[in-house]
Amino acid sequence: DYRYINSQTEVPKTPLPRIDELFDQMVGCAVFSTIDLAQGYHQMQIATTSRKYTAFRTDKETYHWCVAPMGLSGMPGVWSRLMRLLFGRFAFVVVYLDDLCIYSHSEAEHCEHLRVVFDVLRSERLFARRSKCVFG
User: What is the reported pTM?
Assistant: 0.82
| Residue 52, φ and ψ in degrees, nearest 5 | -60, -25
Is the Cβ–Cβ distance between 117 and 100 less than 8 Å? Answer: yes
pLDDT at 114: 98
pLDDT at 97: 85
Fold of 25-135: Alpha-Beta Plaits (3.30.70)
Q: What is the DSSP string of 75-131?
A: HHHHHHHHHHHHHTT-TTEEEETTEEEEEESSHHHHHHHHHHHHHHHHHTT--B-GG
Is the Cβ–Cβ distance between 79 and 40 less than 8 Å? Answer: yes
Contacts by residues 13-20 (CB-CB < 8 Å, ≥ 24 positions apart): 13/77, 14/76, 14/77, 14/80, 14/81, 16/80, 16/96, 16/97, 17/94, 17/95, 17/96, 19/96
pLDDT at 37: 94
Q: What is the DSSP string of 29-93?
A: --EEEEEEBTTGGGGSBPPGGGGGGG-EE-SS-EE--SBPPTT-TTHHHHHHHHHHHHHTT-TTE
Q: Which residues of the chain have pLDDT under 70?
A: none
pLDDT at 41: 80
